[in-house]
């Protein structure tokens, strides 16, 4: 796991780098608060950070305040290093957004334990975000065919209509309805009907462009949204679809 170390004191920073690397962390080291802010607010930011409270430019507390203001879904776990021991000072750091603190000069055993807590927190938060994203995906996905469900595809259609009007673009839509699908279910069973739907979806997707949209809006009804396509082009696309699913 990656850890950002920010300390303007060269000796302290080098010591932290060596200790954290020995514990198996991938260390990113900077010497001031502005550099720490740029790393932590940028893409691919480390999951953990050890920031000195007192640094030139931005101090560690201000970096914490700025990070909290970003309202990140997966913010870094920040440990403040400070020689301040008053309860009011510690409260200031935690209220600013720090996750924990360690007093200087730091005790390696204590720092390692607090980093372990931060690591567990970061890993748990990442898992929760993964679960949340999967739940959001499931809420917008048809469970049988794995294409957009009615809510999702109609929402996408609305977005494309707004974009087409604003930019003066063509937009074509089509409804795909399977003839005599009820007879398939009645004669061969619902499992066979489900397989037919999955096959139709696979063949339809193979006939569409990567940026076309397919969604299930009913039992055997599907909506196709084709951004940037006028009527003649849409007819050609739909003929490919018809030929593929016959």
**CATH code, domain with 43:** 3.40.50.2300
Residue 146 has pLDDT above 80, yes or no: yes
| Domain stops at, among 138, 171, 193 | 138
- Kindly give the pairing relationship between strand 2-6 and strand 26-30: parallel
In the block, tokens 């879904």 appear at 73
Q: Does some domain include residue 145?
A: no
Q: Does some domain include residue 143?
A: no
Distance CA 44, CA 60 (A): 20
What global pTM score does this model have? 0.65
Indicate which residue of 134, 136, 220, 239 is catalytic: 220
Q: What is the pLDDT of residue 85?
A: 67
Decide if 17 is catalytic: no
15 and 92: one domain? Answer: yes
Report for 37-46, 92-101, 177-186: range of highest mean pLDDT:
37-46
Q: What is the pLDDT of residue 106?
A: 87
**Domain extent at residue 232:** 150-245
157 and 216: one domain? Answer: yes
CA-based nearest residue to 144, from 225, 203, 200, 184: 200
**Could you give the number of structural domains in the chain?**
2
pLDDT per residue over 195-232, tens digit each? Answer: 999 999 999 999 999 989 999 999 999 999 999 999 89
**CATH code, domain with 187:** 3.30.70.270
pLDDT per residue over 163-175, tens digit each? Answer: 999 999 999 999 9
What is the sign of the dihedral through the CA atoms of 52, 56, 59 and 63? negative
**In angstroms, what is the C-alpha Rg of the chain?**
28
Q: Does some domain include residue 144?
A: no
Q: What is the pLDDT of residue 185?
A: 86
Q: Based on the number of CB atoms within 10 Å of its own CB, is 204 exposed (0-12), middle (13-18) or buried (19 or more)?
A: buried
48 and 104: one domain? Answer: yes
Q: Does some domain include residue 133?
A: yes
User: What is the mean pLDDT of the segment spanning 67-86?
Assistant: 87
pLDDT per residue over 92-113, tens digit each? Answer: 888 888 999 898 888 999 999 9
| Confidence at 71, pLDDT banded by 50, 70, 90 | confident
8 and 123: one domain? Answer: yes
pLDDT per residue over 19-34, tens digit each? Answer: 999 999 999 999 999 9
Mean pLDDT of the chain: 92
């Amino acid at each position: 796991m990656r850890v950002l170390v920010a300390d303007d004191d060269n000796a302290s920073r080098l010591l932290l780098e060596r200790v954290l690397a020995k514990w198996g962390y991938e260390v990113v080291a900077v010497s001031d608060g502005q550099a720490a802010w740029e790393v932590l607010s940028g893409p691919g930011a480390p999951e953990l950070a050890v920031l000195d409270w007192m640094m030139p430019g931005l101090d560690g507390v201000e970096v914490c305040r700025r990070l909290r203001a970003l309202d990140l879904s997966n913010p870094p776990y920040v440990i403040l290093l400070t020689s301040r021991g008053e309860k009011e000072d510690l409260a200031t750091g935690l209220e600013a957004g720090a996750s924990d603190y360690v007093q200087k000069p730091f005790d390696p055993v204590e720092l390692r334990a607090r980093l372990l807590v931060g690591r567990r927190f970061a890993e748990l938060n990442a898992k929760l975000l993964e679960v949340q994203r999967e739940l959001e995906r499931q809420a917008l996905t048809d469970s049988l065919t794995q294409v957009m469900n009615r809510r999702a595809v109609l929402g996408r259609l609305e977005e494309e209509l707004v974009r087409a009007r604003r930019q003066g673009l063509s937009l074509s839509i089509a409804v795909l309805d399977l003839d005599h699908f009820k007879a398939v279910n009645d004669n061969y069973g619902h499992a066979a009907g489900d397989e037919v739907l999955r096959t139709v979806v696979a063949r339809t997707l193979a006939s569409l462009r990567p940026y076309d949209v397919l969604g299930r809006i009913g039992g055997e009804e599907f909506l196709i949204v084709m951004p940037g396509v006028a009527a003649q082009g849409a007819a050609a696309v739909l003929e490919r679809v018809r030929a593929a699913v016959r």
